[in-house]
Structure 1
Amino acid sequence: MTGAPRVYRARTVVEVDAGGLLHVLGRPPLGEYLRRLWQRRHFIVADSRARVQTDSRANLLGSLWLVLNPLLSGAVYFVIFGLVMSGSRGIENFLGYLVVGVFLFQYTIQCLNQGSRSISGGRQLIRAFSFPRAALPVAVVMRETLRFLPALATMLVLVLAIPFVVPLMDPGGETIALRIGWPWLLLPAVLLLQLVLNTGLALIAARVTARIPDLTQIISILARFWLYGSAVFFSVDRFAEYPALSAIMQVNPMFLVIDIARDLLLYGVLPSWGAWALLAAWSTGLLVLGTLVFWQAEETYAAP
């Protein structure tokens, strides 16, 4: 029995250049890693803007909450520490002092808390695509920075309005001087150092919580201690009787950020070069440390 004749076709072998293919779980050298991260900067910014707009639409008041949250927190701290506990004693322009502290501290804490959840929240994306995982915590910092901009504008408006509003509320009270001058021009430098600081903190938080997500709760608890240690609603002078504690508080990076901003905005004083140098050392050091620590664990982030 004979069947149909078999037809044999010649096979063509096509060579494909795999030079551009990347292993999803691979870790490139640090220089290459940073280069790839920089190449994705436009995507990070666009994605951050889209997420901010989406989150705002989910709330009834929308973007207004970006301003209301720090305002309500400041009001609570004012009632508790300014009125009930008389924490305003010895502090000139306590309302302005409180506003600057609360707004700037909440910006950093949001970057820290959201950065600690960036890897667990992006696990499916990590397993599906090859990209520098540091893009996730960096995108979180970018997102929180965009959310902070309306709050920053509100903070500056309040700082300008408080000297006029307080005398109307309490005609017999002490008049608050308004000091607007060239030191205000240095505020962007403080905010830039704070942005660098926040990025380093987000990278470190993302790394330590990648394998143990429960550490996000520990970070939230430690953030409360950090709040009290940053002189947000009281003066560090209250701890003059405890030199060691006072010294620790004054080298705290968030205390430096807030204290320098208060000197510039409220009191028209140029902070010492030592304060600037110490803050710059903290910001740069944490960014370098966070980058190295995060990069070293690059291959582990896709693990279940």
Structure 2
Amino acid sequence: MTHETGVQQGAETRPADLYAELFGKQASTLEVVSTGRLTPVGARPPIRTYLAQLWKRRHFLWAEARAKVTSGTRETLLGQAWLVLNPMLNGLAYYLIFGKVLGADRGIPNFLGYLIIGVFLFQFTSQSVTGGAKSVAGGRNLIRAFSFPRASLPISVVLRRVLNLVPTLSAMLVLILILPERENWNSVAALFPIVLVLQTVFVTGLALLLARAAASLPDLNQLIGVLMRFWLYGSAVFFSIERFENYPLIVGLMEANPMYMVLDAARDTLLYGVAPSVSTWVGLSAWALGTLVVGFAVFWQAEESYGRV
């Protein structure tokens, strides 16, 4: 007596015959895969492969950043106007407190323009670094669900801030032009976009570095806000470095500060019509490229750990 499957009882059944009975012609497509060709999910690829994977996702990163720019202020009455109003209100507060009450404007030509450039550009750095540090923790569910280069998360944050910076910069330039104190705007202003590129490269590297650190030590996110205030005061956002001319150590530390270099170069090009010094270009370029290389390498080294609890 035989079963309906067509395989006689008592006959020796081979695995291939059983697969053929169950799956028909599909059995011929089955392939034995060597374990040597398998890789763990979420494993860290070689750095060149990793960079190639990031480059392939560049269009998605840009689209995702644009979508989050429009959604970030959707629930407010003024919408994207807050991208401009927020730094303007901060600048007004600093102007009243430091410029009028504490007299920090003494000896600074075009103090309003000086202050506006400092506040607007420092806020871009602060928001990029703070958001980048939180990006891995905020995207942990996404990390566990999909396989993709984790560096996409902090890079996407910086891209979002760059898009936010476009209307902010437009407002900054308009304010500089219409303010009562006259700026000395000439062909040197064409160097300002180079300053912005170097600042963006620098904050991208710093976002990657802090994203790696905050993923290992979540308490760091609570300290970043305090550290940003110290950095704000150490970058001469609303006072001149000449106030500390009798303290050469303080002056030296501030001049080595990359954000001071960014603000000093931006003010020279947009307010005073002076080309930044060679030392400023060299120092800022070294900070930008060095931070990006170190930040990317450190982040890539811990690629396999970001989805863990």
TM-score clears 0.5: yes
Q: Aligned residues, how many? A: 291
Shift of 1:178: 2.9
Taking the aligned partners of 2:275 and 2:32, their CA distance within structure 1 comes to 62
Q: Counterpart of 1:81? A: 98
User: Can you list the C-alpha shifts for 1:24-54, whole angstroms capped at 9, x where unaligned?
Assistant: 3200011111111111111000000001111
Residue 211 of structure 2: which of 161, 183, 206 is its match? 206
Q: Counterpart of 2:114? A: 97
SS at match of 1:57: coil
Task: Mark the CA change 1:133 to 1:16 in structure 2 (over 3 Å): closer, same or farther.
Answer: farther
Q: Counterpart of 1:243? A: 248
Shift of 1:214: 1.6
Task: Mark the CA change 1:16 to 1:227 in structure 2 (over 3 Å): closer, same or farther.
Answer: farther
Q: Is the 8 A contact 2:183 2:270 kept in 1?
A: no
Q: Greater CA radius of gyration, 1 or 2?
A: 2
Q: Is the 8 A contact 1:119 1:301 kept in 2?
A: yes
Shift of 1:211: 2.1
Q: Counterpart of 1:124? A: 141
Taking the aligned partners of 1:33 and 1:16, their CA distance within structure 2 comes to 28
SS at match of 2:95: helix
Is 1:37 matched up with 2:54? yes
Is 1:15 matched up with 2:37? no
Shift of 1:278: 0.5
SS at match of 1:36: helix
Q: Is the 8 A contact 1:24 1:127 kept in 2?
A: no
Gap regions ≥5 residues in structure 1: 167-175
Q: Counterpart of 2:271? A: 266
Q: Is the 8 A contact 1:23 1:130 kept in 2?
A: no
Taking the aligned partners of 1:20 and 1:69, their CA distance within structure 2 comes to 53
Shift of 1:182: 0.4
Task: Mark the CA change 1:266 to 1:299 in structure 2 (over 3 Å): closer, same or farther.
Answer: same
Taking the aligned partners of 1:261 and 1:59, their CA distance within structure 2 comes to 32
Q: Is the 8 A contact 1:51 1:143 kept in 2?
A: yes
Shift of 1:113: 0.4
Shift of 1:15: 2.0
Q: Counterpart of 1:226? A: 231
SS at match of 1:91: coil
Is 1:182 matched up with 2:183? no
Q: Counterpart of 1:195? A: 200
User: Can you list the C-alpha shifts for 1:180-222, whole angstroms capped at 9, x where unaligned?
Assistant: 2101111110000001011001001100000222211111111
SS at match of 1:119: helix
Deviates more, 1:213-222 or 1:79-88: 213-222
Q: Counterpart of 1:296? A: 301
Q: Is the 8 A contact 2:69 2:163 kept in 1?
A: yes
Residue 109 of structure 1: which of 92, 109, 126 is its match? 126
Taking the aligned partners of 1:146 and 1:17, their CA distance within structure 2 comes to 46
Q: Counterpart of 2:67? A: 50
Shift of 1:130: 1.0
Equivalent position amino acid for 2:167 in 1? P
Equivalent position amino acid for 2:59 in 1? H
Is 1:67 matched up with 2:92? no
Equivalent position amino acid for 1:250 in 2? E
Equivalent position amino acid for 2:144 in 1? R
